[in-house]
Copies of this chain bind each other. A is one copy, B any other.
Amino acid sequence: MKYSLGRRAKLTCCGEQVEMTMRTESIMGNLEPALHTVTLVFSQCHPNVDLDLLPDPAGEEPTNRFLQALVQILLTHVNSTFDRTSKVLDFHHPHQLKEGLEGFSLELPDRPENLEQLLVDCRDTLKYGVKTGHPRFFNQLSSGLDIIGMAGEWLTSAANTNIFTFEISPVFILMEEVLLKKLREKVGWPPVEGDGVFCPGGSMSNLYSILLARYSYFPEVKMHGMAVIPRLALFTSEHVIPDILVAELPQTDRLPGRLCKCSHYSIRKAAGVLGIGIENVFLCVKLTPQTLLCSSQGLVPFYINATAGTTVYGAFDPLNEIAEICERHGLWMHVDAAWGGGLLMSRKHAGKLQGIERASSVTWNPHKMMGVPLQCSVILMRQKGLLQDCNQLCAEYLFQPDKHYDVAYDTGDKSIQCGRHVDVFKLWLMWKAKGSEGFGSQVNQCLENADYLFNKLENRADFELVFKNKPEHSNVCFWYIPHSLRKMSRGLEWNKKLHEVAPKIKTKMMEEGMVMVGYQPLGEKPNFFRCVFSNPATTREDVDFLVDEITRLGQDL
Contacts and interface: CB of A to CB of B under 8 A. Distances in A.
9 smallest CB-CB distances across A and B, nearest first, come from A225-B277, A275-B275, A55-B537, A153-B157, A200-B200, A226-B226, A226-B275, A404-B507, A50-B433
Given A64-B79, A97-B174, 9 more contacts: A63-B75, A63-B78, A98-B174, A125-B155, A150-B158, A224-B277, A273-B274, A278-B393, A404-B510
A289 interface: no
A1 B61 CA distance: 9
Interface string A327-348: 0000000000000000000000
B109 A432 contact: yes
Contacts of A168: 130, 132, 139-140
Contacts of A200: 200, 204, 417, 420-421
A71 B78 contact: no
Interface in A400-431: 400, 402-406, 409, 416-422, 425, 428-429, 431
A189 interface: no
| Oligomeric state, in copies | 2
B132 A161 contact: yes
B506 A403 contact: yes
A385 interface: no
Contact of A406 (B77, B93, B280): B93
Contacts of A265: 393, 395, 398, 418
Nearest to A390: B272
A172 to B, nearest CB: 7
25 contacts: A24-B24, A27-B27, A53-B147, A59-B82, A66-B147, A67-B71, A67-B75, A92-B170, A106-B428, A108-B435, A113-B432, A125-B425, A133-B160, A202-B418, A222-B277, A223-B272, A223-B278, A224-B279, A265-B395, A265-B398, A273-B416, A275-B275, A311-B397, A400-B520, A400-B521
Given A75-B67, A406-B94, A53 B436 contact: no
A55 B82 contact: yes
A125 B159 contact: yes
A142 interface: yes
B54 A82 contact: yes
Contacts of A161: 129-130, 132, 374
A151 interface: yes
Contacts of A274: 273-275
A158 B82 CA distance: 12
A113 B433 contact: yes
B522 A433 contact: no
Contacts of A144: 160
Interface string A361-392: 00000000000011100000000000000010
Contacts of A155: 70, 73-74, 122, 125-126
B70 A151 contact: yes
A247 interface: no
B437 A172 contact: no
A231 B110 CA distance: 46
A65 B153 CA distance: 17
A193 interface: no
A180 B153 CA distance: 25
B276 A225 contact: yes
A419 B126 CA distance: 20
